[in-house]
Amino acid sequence: MRTNKVISLSQFIADQQNKFPDANGDLSKIFRDIKFAAKIVNRDVRKAGLVDILGAFGTVNVQGEDVKKLDIIANEEFKSSLTLGGDCCAIISEEEENIHHIETTLNKDSKYIIAIDPLDGSSNIDVNASIGTIFSVYKRKSPIGGPVTMDDVLQKGVNQVAAGYIIYGSSTMLVFTTGQGVNAFTLDSSIGDFCLSHPNIKIPTDGNIYSVNEGNYDQFEQSTKNYIDYCRNSMDKKPYSARYIGSMVADFHRNLLKGGIFIYPSTKDSPNGKLRLMFESNPMAFITEQAGGIATTGDTRILELEPTEIHQRNPVIMGSSNMVRKAVSFR
Ligand code: AHM
Ligand code: MG
């Protein structure tokens, strides 16, 4: 018999599923597979300084960036867990150029597609700062059983069935939404399970933290520079605090809990910014909106962007609604 009120992730998802008589449990199984891989990756991240898994792996990813060993390990772990689970039909990963089709007999009825950034913020691995995994779940559009098409994969963010992230920080947390608010679960390593620690998270409507790589200031559009100047010198309230780790999950997570704005804008060299729509912007935008915040490119709601390629990028302004509205007003 349960003697306290600890709610595990599995229990929470089962309870949510029971509210939908038509749910067949596939989404719960996907969470089971993500949770399993997250625990493995968590173990590897926690011993990163102890074993020989630090440092550049000597290859570059499809976007021409250094790949660390842990990126590869995390990618393999999530793919393997989701493939063996048999409850999704395809995966797209920030670490891979093309669709990873899952063709096992187990998944012949699978309707779900996963988009995953297995280890975001990987430049922080070597310096023991927080990193994370970001994921989205979509339903395929084409009939179950046939080949997954590009049209199935390139769906707008509004079509996400679920999205979440795992932050490997001072503790390990899994934060997610299925469109019914945002809940966070903290890994209790003594029992090996994620337990509900932050129910129904709402991002404060205002905050005093702005997160942007100000080292790129000279590269920004004038409207972005003007907003940053406002944050530095605001006369109508105490100046904001700048907080930027360079690890989106960590910067986002702090702002989600404390209130703040996260910006990765267009620059002269990268007019679409750096962050990827399918792997970073859409899942974080879904969580932001579900927590009561706003996520925009500055011109367009991120969840309404039409994807045209797996690895496309877009400018990002997301966080506390009043702060995002203020930032957009400078455009
Ligand atoms: P990655 O997917 O290669 O790790 O890059 C994404 C990361 C984000 O976590 C973070 O917000 C951003 O890159 C930081 O970029 P920059 O160093 O240009 O500020
Ligand atoms: Mg990334």
pLDDT over 50 at 1, yes or no: no
d(C-alpha 26, C-alpha 30), whole Å: 6
Bridge-based pairing of strands 209-211 and 193-198 is unpaired
Contact in structure between 225 and 217 (CB atoms under 8 Å): yes
**What is the end-to-end Cα distance of the chain in Å, rounded?**
58
% pLDDT > 70, the chain: 88
pLDDT value of position 61: 58
Q: Is the CB of 121 under 6 A from ligand 1?
A: yes
Q: Is the CB of 71 under 6 A from ligand 1?
A: no
CA 82 to chain centre: 17
* Residue to probe by mutation, ligand 1, list 72, 75, 96, 123, most atoms within 8 Å of CB: 123
Highest mean pLDDT among 9-23, 137-151, 164-178, 233-247: 164-178
Q: Is the CB of 247 under 6 A from ligand 1?
A: yes
Cα 232 to ligand 2 centroid, rounded to whole Å: 28
Ligand nearest to the CA of 65: 1
Ligand nearest to the CA of 274: 1
d(C-alpha 327, C-alpha 100), whole Å: 38
Ligand nearest to the CA of 68: 1
pLDDT over 60 at 54, yes or no: no
d(C-alpha 81, C-alpha 205), whole Å: 37
pLDDT over 60 at 67, yes or no: no
pLDDT value of position 245: 96
Ligand 1 atom with minimal separation from the 215 CA? 19
% pLDDT > 90, the chain: 74
d(C-alpha 224, C-alpha 330), whole Å: 7
Ligand nearest to the CA of 280: 2
Ligand 1 atom with minimal separation from the 94 CA? 2
Contact in structure between 253 and 296 (CB atoms under 8 Å): no
d(C-alpha 128, C-alpha 148), whole Å: 38
Q: What is the mean pLDDT of residues 264-280?
A: 97
Q: Is the CB of 274 under 6 A from ligand 1?
A: yes
Residues 221-265 have pLDDT tens digits of 999 999 999 999 866 666 799 999 999 999 999 999 999 999 999
pLDDT value of position 62: 65
Give strand ranges (E) for 172-228.
172-177, 182-188, 193-198, 209-211
Confidence of residue 59 (pLDDT cuts 50, 70, 90): low
The tokens describing 121, both together, are 């913020």
H/E run at residue 308: none
pLDDT value of position 326: 96
Q: Is the CB of 62 under 6 A from ligand 1?
A: no
Enter the DSSP assignment of 63: T
Ligand 1 atom with minimal separation from the 61 CA? 3
3-class SS of residue 136: strand
For the question of whether the overall pTM of this predicted structure is more than 0.85, the answer is yes
Q: Is the CB of 248 under 6 A from ligand 1?
A: yes
d(C-alpha 204, C-alpha 1), whole Å: 38
pLDDT value of position 238: 63
Average pLDDT, the chain: 90
Contact in structure between 122 and 71 (CB atoms under 8 Å): yes
CA 187 to chain centre: 18
Q: What is the mean pLDDT of residues 15-27?
A: 77
pLDDT over 90 at 126, yes or no: no
Return the closest-CA partner of residue 310 out of 159, 169, 152: 152
Q: Is the CB of 292 under 6 A from ligand 1?
A: no
Confidence of residue 290 (pLDDT cuts 50, 70, 90): very high
